[in-house]
Amino acid sequence: MKTLHTITEMRTFREGKNGVVAFVPTMGALHEGHVSLVRQARVMADGGARRGTVLASIFVNPTQFGPNEDFGKYPRTLESDQAMLQAAGCDAVFVPSAEEMYPGIRQTSTEHSARSISVDPGPLGDILDGAIRPGHFRGVCTVVAKLLNITQPTHLLLGQKDFQQQLVLRRMCADLNMPTEVVTCATLREADGLAMSSRNRYLSSTDRALAVALSQALDRARAAFAHGQRHAATLEHLMRARLDQDGIEVQYAVVRNQQTLAPFGEAIDGPAVALIAAKLGSTRLIDNQLLE
């Protein structure tokens, strides 16, 4: 596996690569959830008549962090990340500096993105996580658009755990006519149901034990939906009741349309997803579950 640090190096590596070129963007601090995306990318790349290419990136993107968020302490574990990517079948990983991606950058936050040419995420970027983290999805869209321009993949693999993010990026690729197919991959979970996340390592032992409440709350909504409950407000109450049981700080626990994230009226009348954002101590976690 090659490790490439400049845009020129990445573009030179990409030249002449035919067939599937599958790309997995990450911010590092990799876990088995990330690895599963790379493995799926490897299967996709090798499914054609000729061996394709699997690319990944490791870049802690400063423009998607707010001024008081955890950019400075976000875990950086490059050596172990590289080993995991290589073992999963990655052909090359792009590891640029902030200066390489944003020449002249001075502000390591969404402030820089707001003052520069950037990609507007549209209404989907202003609700739920976008309302709680203003400017976050502008930073996400901008960096992923840049990475897609640099790597030119045929396929972009994203995790379902970041449901709103994958929906925003899917819309960006469609609306901006980007020749990249977006593939959303299932959330990987720990044995007790906690969704795998790089931020899980921030949790204290006490908060780690409580964190399972997120998946349990989602399971309550899914079970009620499976038994015929079609009132979004009732499903939301079930989720909040489980989280309140452990005194967890809930930022949202909602049921929304899978394609638009719009709230439902009195009854659920389309494909639905239950979404939770909550804080345990200083750690913010998100999770979701499709209601089918």
Which residue of the set 5, 34, 136, 227 is catalytic?
34
**SS3 sequence, the chain?**
CEEECCHHHHHHHHCCCCCCEEEEEECCCCCHHHHHHHHHHHHHHCCCCCCCEEEEEECCCHHHCCCCCCCCCCCCCHHHHHHHHHHHCCCEEECCCHHHHCCCCCCCCHHHHHHCCCCCCCHHHCCCHHHHCCCHHHHHHHHHHHHHHHHCCCEEEEECCCHHHHHHHHHHHHHCCCCCEEEEECCCECCCCCECCHHHHHCCHHHHHHHHHHHHHHHHHHHHHHCCCCCHHHHHHHHHHHHHHCCCEEEEEEEEECCCCCECCCCCCCCEEEEEEEEECCEEEEEEEEEC
Single out the residue of 263, 264, 270, 266 nearest to residue 291, CA to CA: 270
Residue linked to tokens 């998946």: 215
Would you call 34 a catalytic residue per the annotation?
yes
Question: What pairing do the DSSP bridges indicate for beta strands 53-58 and 92-94?
Answer: parallel
Given its phi and psi angles, is residue 51 left (phi above 0), alpha (psi -120 to 50 degrees) or beta? beta
Q: How far is residue 232's CA from residue 86's CA, in Å, rounded to a whole number?
A: 44
Hey, which residues are catalytic here? 34
